[in-house]
Amino acid sequence: MLQIAQYRSEQFDGVRELWEEVFPNDPPWNRAERALPEKLAVQPELLLVATIGDTVIGTVMAGYDGHRGWLYSVAVKPSQQRQGVGSQMLGEAERRLADLGCGKINLQVRAGNEAVTAFYRRHGYEMEERVSMGKRLTN
């Protein structure tokens, strides 16, 4: 049975394997070894894991800064995609952000990732004319 709940430390390997499969080209700072401890230090209740039994099949990471909510690392194991897992995880992340008083969620999708844009559109997200900028403070 599908369960969606806050990340637990024994799920580290499952999340790492999932992210390696779904985000094979991610830079080192997005890998589990780095991103999970960082997230566990700030709003760990917004790191959600979808499981069937003990198997990790999905993740979503959210953050609320008091003004906007952000979503990251929305991922479903390829063999489990198109069965509603992503939608359920997104719904739970949105509920948790709304409970904190968040009135708007932002997220970034890599250019050309049409499947993911279709997924978010289906859930009411709209394309906004913005240029995404970033600056690394650590390497």
Ligand X SMILES: CC(C)(COP(=O)(O)OP(=O)(O)OC[C@H]1O[C@@H](n2cnc3c(N)ncnc32)[C@H](O)[C@@H]1OP(=O)(O)O)[C@@H](O)C(=O)NCCC(=O)NCCS
Give the residues lining the site for ligand X (CB under 6 A).
22, 74-76, 81-87, 109, 113, 115-116, 118-119, 122
Closest among 76, 78, 79 to 90, alpha carbons compared: 76
Q: Measured from the CB atom, is 100 or 109 closer to ligand X?
A: 109
User: Least distance (Å) from ligand X to the CB of residue 97?
Assistant: 16
CA distance 47 to 72: 9
User: Least distance (Å) from ligand X to the CB of residue 106?
Assistant: 11
Q: Measured from the CB atom, is 54 or 114 closer to ligand X?
A: 114
Environment class of 22 (CB within 10 Å of its CB; exposed 0-12, middle 13-18, buried 19+): middle
User: Least distance (Å) from ligand X to the CB of residue 111?
Assistant: 11
User: Least distance (Å) from ligand X to the CB of residue 132?
Assistant: 12
List residues bridging with 36 in a β-sheet: none
In the bound state, the residue with its beta carbon closest to ligand X is: 86
CA distance 23 to 72: 12
